[in-house]
Chain A
Amino acid sequence: MTTNDSIIAMEQIRKVYDTGKVQVEALRGIDLEISKGEFVAIVGPSGSGKSTLMNLIGCLDTPTSGVYRLTGQLVAGMKKDELATVRNRRVGFIFQNFNLLPQISAYENVEMPLLFGGVPRRERRRRVEALMERVGLADRMEHKPTELSGGQMQRVAVARALAMDPDILLADEPTGNLDTSSGGDIMELFQDLWEQGGTMLVITHDPALARRARRQVEIQDGLITRDTGSPGADSTPLR
């Protein structure tokens, strides 16, 4: 049931947050498959479980039950360090509030995942420079995040997410903190990345950004309520 091109394959994924007093069932049985080269937008009301789903996909958190394969690999049962390696190599995170480390330069922020990946110094320099070029910030490498605009910070974050050449980019409200014009720049950037063969998963409230995605998945109350599926190759949604 999973094709060779499958990057994400989730079956009956549930996530329950146990806060002691109350148990919040954030995801109540998600079936989702995303193939290489897809551009998926996840939409849905606040509190519906979008971020929770992204955290599970990115192995920042583990599901309460269900089966999750990332590029064919079962995630359940992985050790902490193996999960760290998965996060390092397979996924690239982009957050609404950028989450750059404030005390180091843009260059060093982008270099961070390469450090964790054990990439040699010279190769790191080459890659960081290429990435900063790509997001149009070659002249801002030595700037601290606080010396950059919101749009520039988000572009540094995109460069950082791309550093280890991940299988999928995961973006949670990437334009949520940006003005229309910077948000537009980021959307352009995503579009480019997708056209060059990247796989994108974007959580967004922004209808403009959602429209750019070829496939829209709507979540409500922890369940997928609509999936337009991938137009083109295979129009059947879900399995």
Chain B
Amino acid sequence: MARPRFLVLQLFLRSSRVQKKRAVLTIAAIAWGTLALLLLLAFGEGLGLSLGKAWAGMGTDIAVIWPGETTVPWKGLPAGRAIRPRINDIRAIKERVPGLVGVSGEIIRWGTNFTHGENTVNAPVKGVGTIWGQLRNQIPASGGRFLNPLDDAQRRRVVFLGTDLATDLFGDEDPIGGSVLIDAVPYTVIGVLIEKMMFGNYSGMDANHAIIPIRTLYAQYGSDRLSVLVLKPENRAGMKRALAGVAQVLSAKYGFDPEDERVLGTWDTVETGKIRDNFMLGIQLFLSIIGVLTLTVGGIGVANIMYAVVKERTREIGVKMALGARSHWVTGPIVLEGLTYTLLGGLTGMVVATVLVFLLGLIPTGDSMALKALGKPTLSPAIAATAAGVLGIIGLLAGYFPARRAASVDPAETLRYE
């Protein structure tokens, strides 16, 4: 038989048309479902992107270590001793723990007085090593810079300010090059942090802190005990080994069981990142399920209309069979018709969704934290492919089951003259 596929298309074009109103309603239902699916996925994607950015705000794949107290006796030393590493231990860690991008100590002094002109503000000051800026994602706004090794070596009195703190002190004035009194000691502002979203934190928001070289802080306050250590391995897989290495170095120096987990409180963002990724995946999955269900309702509408079509055309089907139509020449056009309604609806939904997402993108988020966190709905090729795939499957199913009923039509029965 010649060109059966072509034949199915011809038969489809020649089969009787469905009531226009019913077809439009069905297509609208599919369009609505597609729109719902796409918007939900787009919001999920936008949320994921903005959350990802916010989490990265603290730095990616870093670990933060808080020195604590021992809980088990070790080599004749009793439990309950506080372990307080010093600035110089950082060098030892750098030398003995391989596979690190960097490690930095951090000394935090809460409630420090900052004064510029008339303005006095209370905020934490943090003394850190130069690499800390890279580990903790401290990007300077244009015109400024972060601390450099010379600042530390020469114990320069320079300060890098968080965005909000800079505004509180300087108002509309350009802070770069300006001077600030930190607990009555004059400092020069060398940089201001760019505005950024940040979800994780262990010592307040970065927007509200001031950063100075760790040795400068030591010189001014006289304590070289580290509040926390921040480190980043060369790759994620190296995190566990790096943490164990730090524990070894400190244990050798301060005398504690390196297995004692309470001595060094650890926040491993690689580990929490995995949980976060799973969480995001869960949200996306949840949104997709809702979307797909909405779309399925549309698909059931198409299947319904096709069942009605088959019923209405029973005699037509019987006649075609009497004329020698093979069963797939009867079913093919029906599947094609169901698919056509579905894809027409899908296309409509996709166009509307694209326009809506574009318009939503134009709405300014302003200062609303909630809007920022929600992010901009984003349509990615992956989302489009998912939607197209789901539509295709639903369209085929919506045509397949009614077509199966058509194929089971008994021609002798339908052609009986009544």
Q: Which residues of A contact B (CB under 8 A)?
A: 51, 55, 58, 60-61, 80-81, 84-89, 93, 95-97, 99-104, 108, 112-113, 115-120, 160, 164, 172-173, 176
Question: When the two chains form their complex, are residues A115 and B11 in contact, meaning their CB atoms are under 8 A apart?
Answer: yes
Question: When the two chains form their complex, are residues A84 and B7 in contact, meaning their CB atoms are under 8 A apart?
Answer: no
Q: Which residues of B contact A (CB under 8 A)?
A: 1-3, 7, 10-11, 14-17, 315-316, 318-327, 329, 410-412, 415-417
Q: Count A-B contacts at CB 8 Å.
A: 85
Smallest CB gap from A99: residue in B: B319
Query: By CB atoms of chain A within 10 A, which of B2, B329, B412 has the most?
Result: B412
Contact of A84 with B14 at beta-carbon distance under 8 Å, contacts A60-B412, A61-B412, A99-B415 already known: no
Q: How far in angstroms is the closest Cβ of chain A from B312? A: 11
Which residues on the B side are within 8 Å of A176 (C-beta)? 417
Q: How far in angstroms is the closest Cβ of chain B from A173? A: 7
Smallest CB gap from A101: residue in B: B316
Which residues on the B side are within 8 Å of A164 (C-beta)? 324
Question: When the two chains form their complex, are residues A87 and B323 in contact, meaning their CB atoms are under 8 A apart?
Answer: yes
C-alpha spacing A160/B327, complex, angstroms: 20
Which residues on the B side are within 8 Å of A115 (C-beta)? 7, 10-11
Question: When the two chains form their complex, are residues A84 and B324 in contact, meaning their CB atoms are under 8 A apart?
Answer: yes
Q: Which of A84, A95, A103 contacts B321 (CB 8 A)?
A: A84
C-alpha spacing A93/B414, complex, angstroms: 14
Question: When the two chains form their complex, are residues A81 and B10 in contact, meaning their CB atoms are under 8 A apart?
Answer: no
Question: When the two chains form their complex, are residues A102 and B16 in contact, meaning their CB atoms are under 8 A apart?
Answer: yes
Q: How far in angstroms is the closest Cβ of chain B from A84? A: 5
Which residues on the B side are within 8 Å of A120 (C-beta)? 2
Smallest CB gap from B411: residue in A: A60
Question: When the two chains form their complex, are residues A55 and B412 in contact, meaning their CB atoms are under 8 A apart?
Answer: yes
C-alpha spacing A85/B1, complex, angstroms: 10
A-B contact pairs, 29 of them (CB 8 A): A51-B416, A51-B417, A61-B410, A80-B327, A81-B326, A81-B327, A84-B321, A84-B325, A85-B326, A87-B324, A88-B324, A93-B322, A93-B323, A95-B415, A95-B417, A99-B315, A99-B318, A101-B16, A108-B14, A115-B10, A116-B1, A116-B7, A116-B324, A116-B325, A116-B329, A117-B1, A117-B324, A118-B1, A173-B417
Which 8 A-B residue pairings sit nearest by Cβ, starting from the closest? Answer: A88-B324, A118-B2, A103-B16, A61-B412, A118-B1, A116-B324, A55-B412, A60-B412
Smallest CB gap from B16: residue in A: A103
Q: How far in angstroms is the closest Cβ of chain B from A108? A: 6
Which residues on the B side are within 8 Å of A88 (C-beta)? 323-324
C-alpha spacing A98/B14, complex, angstroms: 19
Which residues on the A side are within 8 Å of B325 (C-beta)? 84, 116
C-alpha spacing A102/B16, complex, angstroms: 8
C-alpha spacing A121/B132, complex, angstroms: 78
